[in-house]
Amino acid sequence: MIDGADRIGTASDRASDVGDDRLATIGGIVVILLAAWLVAAWVFEVSLHPVAAPTMSPAIATGSLAVVDRVPAPELEPGDVVIDPVRDVPVRVIGVSASRGGDADAVVTLRGDGEAGRGPHILTITEAERVEATAPLLGWVALGAATPVGGGIAVATVAAVVILALRRRRHRSPSTAQPSVVPRA
């Protein structure tokens, strides 16, 4: 081959192809992570919960994304962080006792770390969503995607990544293409 014959197209075409390849790679990684999350959520029966209030600040910041697991109420222990089923915010379990209404129920006393001036919240429950892990800032993404505008932006972003990944500008123009030299035997 003549030196440079393998370089087809202009420098801007190659730069565009590299950008498209990077977007395709990022899009592929996002799709793989989402698929992995769906499988993990199904297998381990966990779900995601965005934290929209500072009830557990500073331990769990507002805007975090909590991974929650549904557990029977008698399995809760003081110190566990759960999602308050009434207020839909994370709070700490400060007390657990058996309910008189049956052996599956428990009376739990809840209060958030960031709610020092607020009294405890007492509930009789059969199960709770216990917070197993958190990811800072990812809750804002989930909260934003839950709105109509955020959902539209998410769909448009996915569509743009797919279109850019499928579009290849690998034009071979006659002015830049050089014939390859075949050696004679």
Cα separation, 162 vs 157, in Å, equals: 9
Looking at domain 46-135, which of 3.30.465.10, 3.90.1150.10, 2.102.10.10, 2.30.30.30 is its CATH number?
Answer: 2.30.30.30
Between residues 182 and 139, the one the model is more confident about: 139
pLDDT at 170: 43
Return mean pLDDT, the chain: 79
In a 3-state reduction of DSSP, which class is residue 123? strand
| Segment 13-67, tens digit of pLDDT | 555 556 667 777 777 787 787 778 778 777 877 888 899 889 998 999 999 989 9
pLDDT at 173: 46
Cα separation, 4 vs 15, in Å, equals: 17
Q: Which of 53, 60, 73 is nearest to 131 (CA)?
A: 60
The DSSP output letter for 113 is T
| Segment 164-182, tens digit of pLDDT | 767 654 443 455 555 555 5
Residue 129: band (very low, low, confident or very high) from pLDDT cuts 50, 70, 90: very high
- Among 36-40, 101-105, 153-157, the range with the most confident prediction by mean pLDDT is 153-157
Averaged pLDDT for residues 71-97 = 93
Longest dimension (CA), the chain: 95
Q: What are the residue ranges spanned by the domains of the chain?
A: 11-44+139-166, 46-135
Q: Which of 48, 60, 23 is nearest to 141 (CA)?
A: 48
Inter-residue contact 51 to 63 (CB < 8 Å): yes
Averaged pLDDT for residues 83-101 = 89
pLDDT at 172: 39
